[in-house]
Structure 1
């Protein structure tokens, strides 16, 4: 796979929790850190995502926001 995004982190899928239309996919990236992504159920099915599988988390910087008071 070749992609222009530079923020790529390889990990292992911990679990996939499906909702009505979207799923939460939790990926263990090591060192006790877990990244959670919200993607469509269709994407989960098409990619065959399941616990124990390897995955690459791709983060597009313009789409990540964090705020605190």
Structure 2
């Protein structure tokens, strides 16, 4: 399968650094040039996509809200 086009503009190419699997949900840490991007997806999706540390992926970020905190 290949993606011809997608409307998500915030895309981060990277490599999976770590996967913390849970019974239903899992955390996927993707190392990108901008830093680590963490995604929470279903464990079923981890298996179906055959994701593992070292896999090259694209993290798509689409949000209607971005919060900012002053340091």
User: What interval of TM-score do these two structures reach, taking the shorter chain for normalisation?
Assistant: 0.7 to 0.9
TM-score (norm 2): 0.82
TM-score (norm 1): 0.84
Aligned residues: 67
Gaps of 5+ in 1: none
- The alignment partner of 2:29 has SS state of strand
By percentage of residues, which structure has more helix? 1
Which structure is larger by alpha-carbon Rg, 1 or 2? Answer: 2
Q: In the alignment, which of 26, 30, 54 is matched to residue 27 of structure 1?
A: 30
RMSD: 1.6
